[in-house]
Amino acid sequence: MTEIAEVGGPKDSRFNPSRLPANAKAQGLVDEIRKQLLSYEAKFHPRKKRRRAVDQERFDRIVTAIVCDLAHGSIKDPKAWRHISLSKQRPGSATVGAPFMTETRIGIIEWMAKPEMDWLELKKAAQIRNPFRGQQSTIRASGRLRRHVDELDLQYEDIGRDMALMGDPIVLKGPKVKGKAETLPVPVGEPADTYRAEMMKINTWLASGDISCDLDKHGSERDVGDRWLTRIFNNGRMDEGGRPTGGFWGPMSGQSRLTDICINGEPVASLDYGQCAIRIAYGMAGEVPPTGDLYCVPGLERFREGVKKVLISLFFSAKELGRKPKGSTKHLPKHLCIRDVEALILRHHQPLRPLFYAGIGMTIQCIEGNILVRTLLALIEHKVVALPVYDCLVVPRSAIEVTERVMLECFKSITSVDGDVAIKDGVCA
């Protein structure tokens, strides 16, 4: 089809150059489109001389990446667009994420959008008027390509990934300005090198795991090949933030993870670190936490959820709270003001007083991330596939015992205080 100017929806995503055929079925589609592109070129843009072998290989890789990512998009959401730079000013490694995505990609994309080809829909950056997004061109599968995907019955498992092109698993964000944080260059050397090597080992292990998942509530397939995890650090510091995030299981509800996911063909369980942040804080203070539920504060026994929200705010805030934290009012006594609530919490957690209003929330998250990473690495040695979600791990039920032991060992080794692990499965969740 010719270029169109439809406004993209909220599910638009960035073009992913790591896609490649996982089998002969998907490779056949790539080969067909590649053949037609070469015929189109010979007819409308004849070359004076044959391409060098290295240039032809680059051409083929560009076509492969575009076709496979568009096919993936067609399976996931045919209406959504993929953002891709068509700039000639910067190399593909900088704008698209792969060194082979050179300026040649621009011509290929424009050809594939021509009526004679009709393999993709294209709207160029100049056609997009969106004050909340940078000016970048977008593409998606045309009706013709979607029909081919349907006729071939292509599924997520037919589209593979080149691990070398998945990007850096270590991301550094700057301080938020008006709710947005700029992505910054990751500092060279330590600790980034160690963090990166750890995440690559974890991602390689997850990529090889036997993981399946039922259809979602709409009857759509879930992309179980989406297993790439990153550690996103905040405020321009490598010791703030950094919890592992990503994976198809992340957006799922806790109940759906337990009922829909299978690892190694068996049902799963979730193991959560209990009162993780406050236990980490006690470790930072060099103190032993009280026994029992740390969010159960005398005088506020029936308001556990509210106490938790206030405590988290006390860790993140750099100044005294002027009012009850957002979302906490309904979970706290109406007759108590925030000062009264704080007083009761401080009475019960006196050793943590120096850590309140110190803005250490992101530091606690970094320690939490270090605990999760160490746990994941230790579980690899036990041949356990574990899917992290914040301070929780989803594992095969047969691995509950070893996972709980490893989680407690890793927590103690990093924080110097005892951890707590709660276990849920699809039966009792």
pLDDT along the chain (429 residues), means of 10: 39 92 98 97 93 96 98 95 89 83 96 97 75 72 98 96 93 92 95 97 96 92 95 97 96 95 97 96 96 95 95 94 93 95 95 95 98 98 97 97 98 97 76
Residue reference for tokens 């000016």:
135
Rounded Cα–Cα distance for residues 427 and 429 (Å): 6
| The pLDDT of residue 128 | 55
Amino acid 296 reads C
Task: Output phi, psi for 19, to 5 deg.
Answer: -65, 140
CB proximity list for 193: less than 8 A, separation 6 or greater: none
- Residue 198 · residue 242 · CB < 8 Å: no
| The pLDDT of residue 126 | 72
- What's the angle, vertex CA 69, arms to CA 64 and CA 70, rounded to 5? 105
- CA dihedral sign of residues 58, 59, 60, 66: positive
Rounded Cα–Cα distance for residues 227 and 207 (Å): 6
Encoding tokens for residue 156? 């997520």
Nearest alpha-carbon partner for 87 in 45, 130, 50, 134: 134
Amino acid 269 reads A
To the nearest 5 percent, what fractions of the chain are helix, strand and coil?
A: 45, 15, 40
| The pLDDT of residue 333 | 95
| The pLDDT of residue 2 | 35
Task: Output phi, psi for 21, to 5 deg.
Answer: -65, 140
| The pLDDT of residue 89 | 78
CB proximity list for 123: less than 8 A, separation 6 or greater: 3, 4, 5, 6, 81, 137, 138
| The pLDDT of residue 93 | 76
